[in-house]
């Protein structure tokens, strides 16, 4: 079968790879010049089932209101974005109830664990190199109140089968010695030994090369303008360089899936949540960390990637705006200095921002659309890297007409 995949980010590339491995003819369309140059380019680099809990959580609405209009707020809702997200926002508020938050967390966690197992097999099969770190993540807390809240969340993860351990300050330093300079400033942490990290861009581009070796065609520099349809089927994708026909189509364009979906009469509940990161050169730093640290107080994560550090955090609701904001970029620089005061100040710092495709309930949309041969693989929010391998594998199985290796009912477009 000839399958056309729309999008060459983490999700689209993984889907294309698994489809090709199953023997299909695959074409991938993307407006960029290479794979992984949008949301997958400089994300938080975390592979973390322990962050499967939805942002739609008890207490989140109050935090958004408290931070409204504050440029340095961890979660910033801009007034100009409100009119365009009223329907999405009302659904988000409904998902903040405790029982919905717990159900959503459990659903996403199952997919995350499935995806991590798929990634491990994929890395072994294809010998992929992407600066993957030794397993482990510490969620760090600076006051007893935050620590108590974290222990309640970790209790849910433990009940769902995730290994985690509460740590005193000395325990945090024992797991990650690079924290020693701030030992007296932290109240403790939670260690998730199975979580991990790695460079999503390196992975995406390495996997794209493996997909090419399987016969996948990547059509870069192609701007998608619309679709051709007959009856209940899509027959072609229209681009600025002509039509690309296929027998099946997979929409995997992240936040832009919503805009393209409208051309087919689809109303996808995916809203762009802008995130920021910095990448800091740190060659030769003897005190560099070995594993990621997620600082609850700063709302940032610091991840070692080879001889670099990736610092990511904050969320901004501002439509499809992607311009860098100096205040929010500075927050990440300050956060890095607060966690690792002796990091190499002379290292080059690269700033980036991108759009996380967020659904109101935090669950991605994975399944068949109301168009018979159009499939959706989008809405992975801040967990695209964690969920990519599993989502790509399950989607390839679904397109082929097989029963997916994981139940996708929780991620159905019709839920």
Domain boundaries, the chain: 2-41+202-268+363-411, 53-96+129-196+271-358
Please write the tens of the pLDDT for every residue from 132-145. 999 999 999 988 87
Q: What confidence score (pLDDT) does residue 151 get?
A: 80
Confidence bin at 69 (pLDDT 50/70/90): confident
Mean pLDDT over each residue of the chain, to the nearest integer:
95
The pLDDT value recorded for residue 153 is 79
pLDDT in tens, 310-326: 999 999 999 999 999 99
Question: Which of 49-53, 152-156, 228-232 holds the top average pLDDT?
Answer: 228-232
The pLDDT, as a whole number, for residue 145 is 75
Q: Which of 168, 130, 127, 126 is nearest to 151 (CA)?
A: 168
- Is the per-residue pLDDT at 395 higher than 90? yes
- Say what the pLDDT of residue 299 is: 86
The mean pLDDT of 21-29, rounded to a whole number, is: 98
pLDDT digits 0-9 by tens, 213-254: 999 999 999 999 999 999 999 999 999 999 999 999 999 999
Residue 18 pLDDT level (bands cut at 50, 70, 90): very high
Give me the DSSP letters along 47-84: E-GGG-S-SS-TTHHHHHHHTTT-TT-SEEE-GGGGGG
Q: How confident is the model at residue 147 (pLDDT cuts 50, 70, 90)?
A: confident
411 touches 366 (CB < 8 A): yes
Q: Is the pTM of this model over 0.85?
A: yes
C-alpha–C-alpha distance, residues 294 and 300, integer Å: 6
**Confidence category of residue 181, pLDDT binned at 50, 70, 90:** very high
Helices 384-399 & 98-126 angle (0-180, nearest 10) = 80
The fold adopted by the segment(s) 2-41+202-268+363-411 is: FAD/NAD(P)-binding domain (3.50.50)
For residues 160-169, average pLDDT: 94
Minimal CA–CA distance to 370: which of 246, 232, 167, 191?
232
pLDDT exceeds 80 at position 343: yes
To the nearest whole percent, how much of the chain has pLDDT over 90?
92
Residues 53-96+129-196+271-358, CATH architecture: 2-Layer Sandwich (3.30)
Task: List, in sequence order, every residue forming a beta bridge with 236; answer none if it has no partner.
Answer: 228, 245
């Amino acid at each position: 079968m000839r399958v056309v995949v729309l999008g060459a980010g983490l999700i689209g590339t993984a889907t294309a790879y698994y489809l090709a491995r199953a023997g299909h003819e695959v074409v991938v369309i993307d407006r960029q010049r290479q794979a992984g140059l949008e949301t997958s380019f400089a994300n938080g680099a975390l592979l973390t089932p322990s962050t499967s809990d939805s942002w739609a959580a008890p207490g989140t609405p109050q935090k958004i209101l408290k931070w409204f209009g504050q440029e340095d707020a961890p979660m910033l809702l801009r007034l100009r974005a409100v009119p365009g997200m009223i329907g999405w926002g009302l659904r988000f508020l409904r998902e903040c109830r405790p029982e919905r938050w717990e159900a959503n967390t459990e659903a996403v966690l199952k997919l995350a664990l499935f995806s991590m197992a798929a990634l491990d097999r994929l890395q072994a099969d294809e010998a992929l190199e992407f600066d993957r770190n030794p397993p482990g993540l510490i969620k760090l807390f600076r006051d007893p109140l935050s620590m108590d809240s974290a222990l309640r969340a970790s209790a849910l993860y433990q009940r769902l089968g995730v290994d985690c351990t509460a740590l005193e300050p000395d325990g945090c330093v024992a797991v990650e010695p690079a924290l020693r300079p701030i030992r007296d400033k932290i109240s403790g942490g939670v260690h998730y030994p199975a979580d991990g990290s790695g460079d999503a861009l390196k992975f995406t581009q390495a996997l794209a090369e493996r997909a090419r070796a399987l016969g996948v065609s990547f059509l870069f520099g192609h701007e998608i303008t619309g679709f051709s349809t007959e009856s209940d089927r899509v027959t072609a994708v229209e681009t600025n360089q002509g039509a690309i026909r296929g027998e099946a189509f997979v929409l995997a364009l992240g936040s832009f899936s919503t805009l393209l979906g409208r051309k087919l009469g689809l109303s996808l509940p995916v809203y762009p949540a802008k995130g920021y990161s910095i990448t800091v050169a740190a060659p030769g730093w003897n005190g560099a960390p070995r594993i990621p640290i997620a600082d609850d107080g700063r709302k940032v994560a610091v991840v070692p990637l080879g001889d670099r550090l990736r610092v990511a955090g904050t969320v901004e609701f501002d439509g499809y705006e992607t311009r860098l904001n100096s205040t929010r970029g500075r927050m990440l620089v300050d956060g890095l200095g607060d966690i690792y005061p002796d990091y190499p100040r002379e290292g080059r710092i690269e700033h980036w921002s991108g759009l996380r495709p967020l659904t109101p309930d935090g669950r991605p949309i994975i399944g068949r659309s109301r168009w018979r041969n159009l499939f959706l693989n989008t809405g992975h929010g801040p967990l695209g890297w964690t969920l990519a391998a599993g989502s790509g594998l399950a989607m390839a199985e679904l397109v082929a007409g097989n029963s997916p290796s994981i139940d996708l009912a929780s991620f159905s477009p019709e839920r």
